[in-house]
Amino acid sequence: MTILAIESSCDETSAAVLRDGRILSNVVATQAIHRKYGGVVPELASRAHQQHIVPVVAQSLADAGLAQQDLTAIAFTRGPGLLGALLVGTSFAKAMALGLGIQLIDVHHMQAHVLAHFIEKPHPVFPFLCLTVSGGHTQIVRVNDYLEMEIIGQTQDDAVGEAFDKAAKLLELPYPGGPLIDKHAETGNPHRFALPDVEMPGYDYSFSGFKTAFLYFLRNEKARNPNFMAENLNDICASLQFALVRILLKKLKKAAQDTGIREIAIAGGVSANRGLRDTLAKEGTERGWNVYIPKFEYCTDNAAMIAMAAYYKALRGDFADQSVSAMPRMDW
């Protein structure tokens, strides 16, 4: 089985090739155009996908040392994501599958983030808990099998990635701010400023109140010292990251304790965060968890994870037909 997978749900155009469960190539073109707008502009994302998709697919085949004729299926991200962005990948995949007369596989983007854990070994053992954290989602997923997942907790408003990015914007850092907060936090003092936790029922999260609290914190400090941000940037970033990681882990620890599951994974763009990775590794050692943290390249959006999810769908004989359409909001 040789699958070409395409990811175009947000601002990364990516293509990967998988053969018999092994990733042979993974090409990612990040769209720099959104930087000057401080966030992803959906229409510009669609246009950039259109520009990138042909060279990115060609490069992924070249890197794998294969030709189009070697493919047995084309996979694509059906949703969730930006409609115009998803449409580029969906239309491209459908046309290519039709042209080559091969199978089509539609993939759920968030399930693919979880299945990124099966790209390389060691693999988590079922059932495992996966904290899936990205620009659009914050979920605790109970993963019973490759394609049997259950969301046991999630954010009721903003995603944690959005909280990172919005906080970065308030700190006048360019988009996407998450990785920059991470970088500045490295040399900052995480205990310098106390930021609030938000009480939510069960395993759910909320980050909109946190964002507002951070806004007022900066406003108050700046009123006292106009240079507050510039003078304390690293400590602010470290304290912010510390607070967000603490919120994330509190519910994950509760879920692990209640379910008795000790196989614990993280996935999604925010799982690239150093603070989250290090804290989780430490908690894991203390609590006797087996912790799974993806390689950096498989945390943020990439087509290798789409290929992996497609592989498990193909093993089940779960294929799409030409009537399939992009789905910006998609249930599990």
139 binds, among Zn ion, ligand KG4, none (CB under 5 to 8 A by kind): none
| Least distance between ligand KG4 and beta carbon 82 (Å) | 10
Q: Looking at beta carbons only, is 53 or 314 nearer to ligand KG4?
A: 53
∠ CA 130-267-76, nearest 5°, is 110
Q: Does 134 bind Zn ion (CB under 5 A)?
A: yes
- What span, in angstroms and rounded, lies between the C-alpha atoms of 12 and 31? 6
Residue pair 218/229 in contact by the 8 Å Cβ criterion: yes
Residue 102 and residue 100: Cα distance in Å, rounded?
6
Based on CB atoms, which residue is closest to ligand KG4, 23 or 314?
23
79 binds, among Zn ion, ligand KG4, none (CB under 5 to 8 A by kind): none
Instruction: For residue 23, list its beta bridge partners.
Output: 18
CB nearer ligand KG4, residue 168 or residue 261: 168
Contact 305, 268 (CB under 8 A): no
The region of 48-56, 63-71, 131-139, 165-173 touching Zn ion under the rule CB under 5 A is: 131-139
- Residue 301 as a binder of Zn ion (CB under 5 A): the answer is yes
The nearer residue to Zn ion, 182 or 301, going by C-beta atoms, is 301
For ligand KG4, the binding residues (CB under 6 A) are 10, 134-136, 161, 164-165, 176, 178-179, 182, 268-270, 272-273, 300-301
179 binds, among ligand KG4, Zn ion, none (CB under 5 to 8 A by kind): ligand KG4
Q: CA–CA separation, 265 vs 9, rounded Å?
A: 23
Buried b (16+ CB within 10 A) or exposed e, 56-79: bbeebbeebebeeeebebbbbbbb
- Least Å distance between CB 113 and ligand KG4? 6
Count CB atoms within 10 A of the CB of residue 136.
18
**CA 77, 81, 85, 89: dihedral to nearest 10 degrees?**
10
Instruction: Report the residue number, 263 or 301, with the smaller CB distance to ligand KG4.
Output: 301
Q: Which amino acid is at 77?
A: T
Q: At its nearest, how many Å lie between Zn ion and the CB of residue 113?
A: 6
116 or 129: CB nearest ligand KG4: 116
Could you say which of Zn ion, ligand KG4, none residue 25 binds, taking C-beta under 5 to 8 angstroms by partner kind? none
Shortest Å distance, C-beta 244 to ligand KG4? 8
If phi > 0 it is left, if psi is from -120 to 50 it is alpha, else beta; for residue 25 that is beta
Q: What residue ranges bind Zn ion (CB under 5 A)?
A: 134, 301
